[in-house]
Structure 1
Amino acid sequence: MNPRQRISELTEEIRDHIFRYYVLDNPTVTDAHFDKLMRELEQLEKEHPELRAEDSPTLGIGGGFATTFEQVDHLEKMMSLDNVFDSDELNTWFDRVAKDAPDAKWLCELKIDGLAINLRYEKGLLTKALTRGNGTTGEDVTLNVK
């Protein structure tokens, strides 16, 4: 299979998994399998940047939205965490970050999958609770959080 075909196949499969995970709340693959697919797509896009689509799943975070909640823009973009799967990847990441922050103190924790939420308070009172959504716009779940 040529790179163009594989990128197309991976993109379609990843989008389906994103929809099932974020919209239907019914994933059909493990997080590890999903991450493996994303890494393969990222590698192919790195090797063939001319084949990367403007809306590639590698360029975004999160997924679509369920239709039962109002969509609200975040005041600041909510980012996602990268994964590290072995000590070589951790060392590569550490070396890259340490160049910019040589005196930084470090704390490493396990990344636990779950729901990211942005809570807004005014004068100590919760006024808005938004899911991460696509990082720019989230779903208003304030009533569920209160």
Structure 2
Amino acid sequence: MRSNALVAGLAAGLVSLIAVTATAAERRPAPKDAYAYIGWPNDGEVVTGRFKVWLGLRNFGVAPSGVDRPNTGHHHLIIDRDLPPLDEPIPNDRNHIHLGGGQTETFLELPPGRHTIQLLMGDFDHVPHDPPVTSKRITITVR
């Protein structure tokens, strides 16, 4: 009886370890001096309708999703949300816009009002780097 309980306990522990490992993604390294920035719009900008957003990087490169090269990644625009968990793939929804083709500019159309925008680089598999390569969060007003 004791050996069955021991085996069951070890099996449960192993299943728990596998579950934790499966949910935590491996983060690729990034240079400590790498950063992303939003070139336009500027913080505090008032925009109308559909507007262009252009993005930049320092000490880091751009590669499309699926391409695994050191010190590269692709842009993700985080709109009206805090940064997602940094040890998981970045969500893909209306608040987390993936620019997986390696784009450095895009167009957005947001409802009227105040909005926040922030960049977060993701690796070939959409996981943030370590340390994360981000921009400052900016606030814009859509009229």
Q: Answer with 1 or 2: which has the greater Rg.
A: 2
Greater helix fraction, Structure 1 or Structure 2: 1
The TM-score normalised by the length of structure 1 is 0.21
Say which structure is richer in strand: 2
Higher RCO (Cα < 8 Å, 6 or more apart): 2
